[in-house]
Every structure is written in structure tokens, then in C-alpha cells.
């Protein structure tokens, strides 16, 4: 009976996930021009695609960019999300309103969000930052080219993280709400202040939640694509390129140029590298952040 | 066997009688059956004679345009009229630029696609193996070409380019041509007292000085076109061949790169190029600076008036070729021009009808309509050029050296990204000419 119920899911898993993963992994060892080229035309290339990628400056730059997104962006998002989560589970008024407001960027299309940030926040002639600094009399600061060289990556990162806070905040809130009130009440009676209650009660209970958030953040970072496209919409820039953007370009050809060289084998190799990163991050997180030793 | 037994039991007479009766019954049954069939089948063939002659075949066209784009709108309208005139239905599937991803898998899977389109290089190179040769079709005349052949009715320069890209034979039909030129605001030039468009670098510099004096920023660029800007400059300084070598080898040790750095570092200091160009994410420069009338020039394609017509419907457009810059480089006779192209699937079952539609779209009324609505360039020799792009016609007509897109600077993503980053820094002054040269060779 179990088999009957499991079979449809198993078939879906094999067709939708396992087969493409295996095919992509095999393809990454071959020279393949188009994703739909018949297997008979593939030429064995060994580790050539991987070697080529790591000798390509823009791919190395893309890897550096996602490392920065993961580390700097991740730290920022987790700290802010946790701060909001703790604040909103502390019995303050208007919790539902603030929770909705903070989560709102998640339900707005990334395209709309990106356009909003580029045109209405960062624009050096009429953007929000320009207007705020100009009104404060900070003329030089108001003329800052937020999407110019040196600042483009950080501007993109802030815009991206702004939209991600709400998602991780909800995960933190769900976990905090499961912590038995007895602990905090007892600590409160014993004289523990808010910071002590947070560090010695709330935080230890959130270990499993942290693990979930880190894994999810890793998955999102590895799949980073749309924001790179928005901040460099026509062709790749060093400041905004992520491995997925580069993969898209070499698999389907450049967006603007009439240069149409494609390399689906190298694109598959990027996919495999990204998959390995996610698996490694998952394993490392499991190793470092141990399971909760407290039953909730 | 059974009948034989019966006949034999009745003898000869009854046997004859039986045969007569059987024939009569058979005749009657046949007549009744024919009558019933004709009654039953009559609705199927009601008006069948005329329908069969007018309902011809259906051509399936996978389009690179979106339905809401001017090109998409005109194509859809043309397909309707084409059906009325010829009886041939054209089923248009609007893919937009997603066609770059969707077409090849669909062709490989045997999907019914008769016509597809995209850029001239992409259609010829990426999808070359799916193309039906068109030389024979091009030799014939069609209703919209009059007594002339198709080849004699459309732009010779574009057909030559199509043959060049197709390995010496015509395998695509170009349409929506473009030229990569300096698109400029005539009113701002007039305001600055510039009466003739610059052809030499000295004249260009003089024009920039006049514009700055009149309070107008001479030129801008978006991140999307920085590599093309750099490529054009290098080709004018070092020549086409050397520029392509630099682009394809990612090797920028040529002195022309340093010279480029010197020129544009100096121009940036003089205010000849917008500071915002360093941070313009496409299409910021063309909308906030060109359409807003703050900046006079943009090295861009003849598609620019169409792209920003919503923001600047009345902009007084002019066009000139990027000026010559030095004795070793190319002059205004070397330019990049190209087109979108229709291709016919080699496996199409209706290639004649498909080419008929292609001719319909690239000559006569609908070629002009396409150019008019998209503020673009027509393909037919007799078609009217919109005033916004009219000056580009002279440039195409006088072009003797065809340059590839961005003079090769977008061929390698590495090179493109490096140019964008370093040129932005050069504009802002965070890199001087030497720093730019060093960064390009890092």
C-alpha cells in the first residue's frame, strides 16, 4: 500500500529532479553547444569545462560576488531579521501590521522591487537618497553615484537584502513563538534583564532555526540571478555578476551582442558546482549547528 | 458455398430469377445508399468548392517580438490582411527575446515552425543548420515587388551582409535594418550653433566645446553600450583588424588603448561626457539624459528613436557616423549595420507560402508600415524612411567597410565587463589614462 502512494511522488522526483541532475552532471564533462543537442554529438572533455571556468576571470568574480552576498548579506539579513522577530514576539502592539509590512517586499515582484530601488532610491538626480541628503544640505553626498563603480555591488546587495529580511524574520518568529513562556517568565522573576533573556534563553532555542535559515540563505544565494540581471540588464558587469548570470549567458548566448557563442557543457559545470556548494553548506551547517538538545 | 447449394436445389430457372432479383435489390440498395450518403455528406461540403480554393495553408511563425511592441502590432495586422488577400493564414507565436531559449529545443523536438526570426548573426550562426536556402526564392518576383525580383527590390547592402553571414549564400531575409551611429538632438546642435555634423575628430571636439559653452552635455552612454563605444573608438584609432584582435585575444597592450584613455580622461574633465554615464544602468542614460534633452549625442543604434519615443515623441533626431580619430584607424566609411532576419525552417511543409509572407513584410506597404511604427529603417528600396532615421540612410549607403557588433568588444563577457568597469572609472576620474591602460591589461 505504501508503494502505491509513494510511486507517483517517486516518479515525479526521478523525472523532475534526479534525471536532470544526472544528465547535467554528465553533460558537464562534455563539450556541448546547445542544451538540446543530441547526446551523439557530445564530445568528451574530461574536467576541461571546470578548468576553463576557474581560468575565466568573470566566473571567479561571480564566485567572489556570491561569497560576499552569502557572508556580508547573510550576516546583515540574519541580524536584522532576528531583531525584528524578537521585537515582534515581545508583546508589542500592531504586531500583525508590522509583520505584514516587513514581509511585503517578498510578495512584490523582484522586477518591480529592482526598478524601484534603481530609479527611486539610488537615482543621483531625483532618487530618495539624493533628496534626503540634499535636504540635509549634504550636497556632495547627495551627488553620490550609487550605481557607479565601487558602489554598484553594495547598492545591489542592500536592495536584495531589504527584500529578504521578512522571509527569514517569519521563520525566526515561528520558532520564538514555540519557546515555552515558562522559561522567560521564570528568568524574568529571577531578575534577568531583556538582553540576558535573549542570549541565555531565546538564542539557544533557535539553533535549529538558525540552521534552517542558513541553508535557505545558501540556496537563495546560489540561485542569485534576478537582481544581477536588474542591476546590469543587458550584459554582464563585474559588480553584479553571479554564477547563474554567467551560466545563462553561456548557455543561451549573450543578450545584446550578436556574438552567439554558446557552451552548454560549461553551463552544466556551473550547475554542478552550485549543487556541490549547496550540499557542502548543508553538511557543514548540520555539523556546526547541532540539533536542539531541548525538546519543545 | 451456401448460395451454390441453394441454386442447385432450385434448378436453372429459379437460379436466374434469383440472380435478377438479387441484382435489382443490389441496385436499389446502392441508389438508397448513395442518396443517404449524399444527404448526410451535404453539410460537410456546403460551399466546399469555394472554401477549398480559398482556405490554403497555415504558416506558423515564431516571432522574436512581443505582441505589444510596435513590430508585433504591425506583424499581427499584416498577417490579417495577408490572409484576406491570399487565403494563407499566418499563425504568429510571440516569443519575445525568449526565443533565444525556446526556439532550438522546439525545432529539435519537431514542432511545426515555418518561419522564425532574430538578429542576422544569431539566425545564421546559432540556428544555421535549420535554415532553408533562399537564393532561388530571391530570384523570383512577387506581387509587392512588381516586375522586379525580390533581390532587386530590397537593400543590396543588407542582402550582401546576409550572404556574408550565411557563408556566401542567402539563407535569411533581412528586415528591420539598423545602423550603429551617433544619434543626436538637432535642436540642441542648433542651439549651440553647430551647423554641420562632425566628420573629423577636430570637428567633433569643436562641437563638444560649443555644446558645453551652451550649457549642454555633449555625449552620454549607458552600461549596455560602453563596450560598443570603446570598440568604435579603438577601430577609429587603431584600425578594424587590430581592434578585433585585441577584443578576441583579451589583450589591450596596443598604444591606442592608452590614447583612448588620454582622450576620454581629458574629455571627462572638460565635461564633454556626462558624469552620470559612469552610473547609468540601461536605459537611464537614453531616457533621463537624451530624451530629457539634457545631453545631445549618443553612440547608439537607429532603434533609439523608437525605444524612447514614449519619453521624447517630438525629439528632432539626426544621425552621423562616428568621426575619424587618427591616421591609423578607420574613417566614417566603416560602420556597423545589421538587421533582424526571417529564416524558413528547412523542414517546413509550406516554404513557398512562408517566403510569400516574408516578401509581404519586407517590401511595399507593410515594410513602410513596420518602419513607420517602429521609427526604424525600411528594407525595400522603394519604401519610405521615417524622418527620425532618414540621415542614417546616407551613412549606410556610404559604408564600404562593415564592422561587426561593438567591433568585437562584446564577444567575450570578460572583456565587456572589464571595459564597463574601467571606462566608468575613467569618466569619474578615479582612473587616469595610465591607470585605465594598466587596468585593461590586468
Based on the fold, state whether residues B157 and B194 are members of the same structural domain: no
State residue B385's pLDDT score: 87
Query: Which chain B residues are closer than 8 Å to A246 by Cβ?
Result: 413
Same domain as B322, residue B261: yes
Residues B131 and B273 in one domain: no
In a domain, B126, yes or no: yes
Do residues B161 and B285 both lie within one domain?
A: no
Cell numbers for A234 = 543587458
Query: What is the CATH classification number for the domain harbouring B83?
Result: 3.40.190.10
**Is residue A268 a part of any domain in this protein?**
yes
Q: Are residues B61 and B204 in the same domain?
A: no
Residues B34 and B78 in one domain: no
Task: Say what the pTM is.
Answer: 0.87
Distance CA A274, CA B341 (A): 37
The shortest C-alpha distance from B223 to chain A (Å) reads 8
In a domain, B48, yes or no: no
Which of A256, A262, A266 to probe by mutation at the B interface, max B CB count within 10 Å?
A: A256
Partner B, chain A 237-256, Cβ-Cβ below 8 Å: 237-239, 241, 246, 249-250, 252-256
Q: Which residues of A touch B430 (CB under 8 A)?
A: 149-150
Can you give the residue range of the structural domain that contains A195?
50-288
Q: Which residues pair with B94 in a beta bridge?
A: B63
Contacts of A259 in chain B (CB under 8 A): 121, 405, 408, 410-412
* Tens digit of pLDDT at every position of chain B (442 positions): 333 333 333 333 444 444 544 545 555 555 555 555 554 444 444 444 444 444 579 999 999 999 999 999 999 999 999 999 999 999 999 999 999 889 999 999 999 999 999 999 899 989 999 999 999 999 999 999 999 999 999 999 999 999 999 999 999 999 999 999 999 999 999 999 999 999 999 999 999 999 999 999 999 999 999 999 999 999 999 999 999 999 999 999 999 999 999 999 999 999 999 999 999 999 999 999 999 999 999 999 999 999 999 999 999 999 999 999 999 999 999 999 999 999 999 999 999 999 999 999 999 999 999 999 999 999 998 888 899 999 998 999 899 999 999 999 998 899 999 999 999 999 999 999 999 999 999 9
Considering the domain boundaries, does residue A295 fall inside one?
Answer: no
pLDDT for B302: 95
Grid cell for residue B316: 528632432
Please indicate, yes or no, whether residues B183 and B198 belong to a single structural domain of this protein.
Answer: yes
Q: Do the Cβ atoms of A56 and B288 come within 8 Å?
A: no
Q: How many CB atoms lie within 10 A of CB A100?
A: 12
Task: Establish if A45 belongs to a structural domain.
Answer: no
Residue of A nearest to B419 (CA): A237
Interface residue ranges in chain B relative to chain A, Cβ cutoff 8 Å: 97, 100-101, 104-105, 108-109, 119-122, 125-126, 223-224, 227, 275-276, 278-282, 284, 288, 338, 404-406, 408, 410-414, 416-418, 420-421, 424-425, 428, 430
Tracing cell 575565466 back to the chain, one arrives at A56
- Domain shared by B331 and B183, yes or no: yes
Angstrom distance (rounded) from CA B374 to CA B74: 9
Residue A4 in domain: no
The grid coordinates listed for B222 are: 549607458
| pLDDT at residue A144, rounded to an integer | 96
- Domain count within chain A: 1
Residues of A (181-240) whose Cβ lies below 8 Å from B:
231-239
Contact A145 B275 (CB under 8 A): yes
- B366-397 core/surface letters (b: 16 or more CB in 10 A; e: else): bbbbbbbbbbbbbbbeebebbebbebbbebbe
Do B267 and B414 lie in a common domain?
yes
Chain B partners of A237 at a C-beta cutoff of 8 Å?
223, 417, 420-421
Q: What is the CATH number of the domain that holds A239?
A: 1.10.3720.10
For residue B119 the three cell numbers come to 538578429
As to burial, measured by CB atoms within 10 angstroms (0-12 exposed, 13-18 middle, 19+ buried), residue A108 is: exposed
The per-residue pLDDT for A288 is 84
Share in percent of chain A as helix, strand, coil (round to 5): 70, 0, 30
Indicate the range of A30-34, A93-97, A245-249, B324-328 predicted with least confidence: A93-97
Stretch A84-92: mean pLDDT, rounded?
91
CA distance B280 to B283: 7
Instruction: Let me know whether B246 and B157 are in one domain.
Output: no
Counting the structural domains of chain B, the total is 3
Among residues A272, A280, A247, which one has the least CA distance to residue A23? Answer: A272
pLDDT given at position A292: 55
What is the span of the domain harbouring residue B212?
Answer: 179-336+402-440
Distance CA B76, CA B69 (A): 11
Residue A15 located in a structural domain: no
Mutate to test the interface with A, among B103, B179, B227, B281 (most CBs of A within 10 A): B281
pLDDT digits (tens, 9 = 90+) for A129-185: 999 999 999 999 999 999 999 999 999 999 999 999 999 999 999 999 999 999 989
Tell me the chain A residues in contact with residue B408 when contact means C-beta distances shorter than 8 Å. Answer: 259
Residue B374 forms part of a structural domain: yes
Q: Based on the domain organization, do B414 and B323 belong to the same domain? A: yes
Distance to chain A for B204, nearest Cα, Å: 27
Strands, DSSP E only, in chain A? 30-31, 43-44
pLDDT grade for A289, boundaries at 50, 70 and 90: confident
Query: Using CA of residue A176, residue A177, residue A180, residue A185, what is the dihedral sign?
Result: positive
Instruction: Write b or e for each residue in A197-218: b if 16 or more Cβ atoms lie within 10 A of its Cβ, otherwise e.
Output: bbeebbeebbeebbbbbbbebb
Q: Environment class of residue B43 by beta-carbon count within 10 Å: exposed (0-12), middle (13-18) or buried (19+)?
A: exposed
- Are residue B286 and residue B183 in the same domain, yes or no? yes
Amino acid at each position: 500500500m505504501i508503494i502505491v502512494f509513494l510511486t507517483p511522488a517517486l516518479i515525479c522526483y526521478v523525472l523532475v529532479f534526479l534525471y536532470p541532475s544526472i544528465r547535467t552532471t554528465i553533460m558537464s564533462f562534455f563539450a556541448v553547444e546547445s542544451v538540446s543537442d543530441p547526446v551523439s554529438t557530445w564530445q568528451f572533455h574530461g574536467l576541461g569545462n571546470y578548468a576553463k571556468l576557474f581560468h575565466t576571470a568573470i566566473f571567479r568574480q561571480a564566485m567572489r560576488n556570491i561569497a560576499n552576498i552569502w557572508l556580508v548579506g547573510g550576516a546583515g539579513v540574519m541580524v536584522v531579521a532576528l531583531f525584528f522577530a524578537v521585537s515582534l514576539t515581545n508583546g508589542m502592539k500592531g504586531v500583525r501590521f508590522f509583520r505584514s509590512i516587513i514581509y511585503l517586499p517578498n510578495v512584490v515582484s523582484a522586477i518591480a522591487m529592482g526598478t524601484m530601488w534603481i530609479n527611486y532610491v539610488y537615482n543621483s538626480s531625483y532618487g530618495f537618497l539624493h533628496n534626503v541628503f540634499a535636504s540635509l544640505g549634504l550636497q556632495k553626498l547627495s551627488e553620490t553615484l550609487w550605481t557607479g563603480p565601487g558602489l554598484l555591488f553594495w547598492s545591489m546587495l542592500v536592495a536584495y537584502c531589504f527584500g529578504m529580511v521578512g522571509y527569514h524574520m517569519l521563520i525566526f518568529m515561528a520558532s520564538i513563538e514555540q519557546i515555552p513562556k515558562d522559561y522567560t517568565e521564570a528568568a524574568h522573576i529571577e531578575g534577568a534583564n531583556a538582553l540576558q533573556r535573549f542570549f541565555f534563553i531565546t538564542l539557544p532555542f533557535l539553533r535549529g532555526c538558525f540552521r534552517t535559515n542558513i541553508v535557505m540563505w545558501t540556496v537563495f544565494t546560489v540561485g542569485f540571478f534576478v537582481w544581477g540581471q536588474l542591476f546590469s540588464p543587458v550584459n554582464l558587469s563585474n559588480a553584479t555578476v553571479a554564477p547563474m548570470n554567467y551560466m545563462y549567458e553561456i548557455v543561451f548566448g549573450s543578450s545584446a551582442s550578436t556574438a552567439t557563442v554558446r557552451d552548454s557543457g560549461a553551463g552544466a559545470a556551473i550547475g554542478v558546482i552550485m549543487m556541490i556548494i549547496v550540499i557542502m553548506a548543508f553538511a557543514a551547517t548540520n555539523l556546526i549547528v547541532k540539533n536542539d538538545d531541548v525538546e519543545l | 458455398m451456401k448460395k451454390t447449394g441453394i441454386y442447385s436445389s432450385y434448378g436453372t430457372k429459379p437460379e436466374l430469377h434469383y440472380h435478377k432479383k438479387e441484382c435489382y435489390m443490389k441496385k436499389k440498395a446502392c441508389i438508397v445508399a448513395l442518396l443517404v450518403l449524399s444527404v448526410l455528406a451535404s453539410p460537410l461540403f456546403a460551399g466546399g468548392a469555394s472554401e477549398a480554393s480559398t482556405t490554403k495553408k497555415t504558416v506558423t511563425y515564431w516571432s522574436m517580438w512581443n505582441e505589444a511592441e510596435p513590430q508585433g502590432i504591425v506583424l499581427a495586422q499584416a498577417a490579417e490582411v495577408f490572409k484576406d488577400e491570399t487565403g494563407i493564414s499566418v499563425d504568429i507565436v510571440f516569443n519575445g527575446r525568449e526565443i533565444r531559449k525556446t526556439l532550438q529545443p522546439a525545432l529539435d523536438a519537431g514542432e511545426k515552425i515555418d518561419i522564425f526570426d532574430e538578429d542576422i548573426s544569431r539566425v545564421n550562426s546559432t540556428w544555421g543548420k535549420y535554415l532553408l536556402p533562399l537564393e532561388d526564392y530571391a530570384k523570383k518576383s512577387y506581387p509587392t515587388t512588381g516586375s522586379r525580383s525580390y533581390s532587386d527590390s530590397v537593400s543590396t547592402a543588407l542582402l550582401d551582409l546576409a550572404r556574408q553571414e550565411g557563408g556566401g549564400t542567402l539563407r535569411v531575409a533581412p528586415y528591420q535594418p539598423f545602423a550603429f551611429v551617433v544619434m543626436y538632438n538637432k535642436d540642441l546642435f542648433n542651439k549651440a550653433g553647430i551647423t554641420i555634423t562632425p566628420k573629423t575628430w577636430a570637428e567633433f571636439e569643436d562641437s563638444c566645446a560649443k555644446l558645453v559653452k551652451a550649457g549642454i552635455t555633449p555625449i552620454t552612454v549607458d552600461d549596455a553600450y560602453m563596450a560598443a563605444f570603446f570598440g568604435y573608438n579603438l577601430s577609429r584609432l587603431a584600425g578594424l583588424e587590430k581592434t578585433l584582435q585585441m577584443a578576441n585575444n583579451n589583450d589591450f597592450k596596443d598604444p591606442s588603448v592608452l590614447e583612448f584613455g588620454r582622450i576620454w580622461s581629458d574629455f571627462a574633465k572638460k565635461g564633454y561626457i556626462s558624469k552620470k554615464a559612469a552610473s547609468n544602468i540601461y536605459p537611464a542614460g537614453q531616457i533621463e539624459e537624451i530624451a530629457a534633452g539634457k545631453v545631445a549625442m549618443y553612440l547608439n543604434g537607429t532603434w533609439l528613436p523608437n525605444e524612447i519615443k514614449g519619453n521624447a515623441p517630438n525629439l528632432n533626431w539626426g544621425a552621423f557616423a562616428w568621426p575619424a580619430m587618427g591616421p591609423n584607424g578607420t574613417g566614417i566609411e566603416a560602420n556597423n549595420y545589421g538587421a533582424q532576419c526571417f529564416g524558413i525552417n528547412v523542414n517546413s511543409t509550406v516554404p513557398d507560402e512562408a517566403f510569400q509572407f516574408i516578401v509581404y513584410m519586407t517590401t511595399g506597404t507593410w515594410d513602410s508600415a513596420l518602419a513607420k511604427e517602429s521609427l526604424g529603417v525600411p528594407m525595400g528600396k522603394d519604401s519610405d524612411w521615417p524622418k527620425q532615421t532618414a540621415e542614417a540612410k546616407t551613412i549606410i549607403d556610404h559604408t564600404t567597410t562593415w564592422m561587426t557588433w561593438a567591433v568585437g568588444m562584446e564577444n567575450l563577457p570578460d572583456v565587456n565587463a572589464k571595459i564597463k568597469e574601467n571606462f566608468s572609472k575613467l569618466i569619474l576620474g578615479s582612473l587616469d589614462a595610465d591607470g585605465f591602460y594598466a587596468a585593461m591589461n590586468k
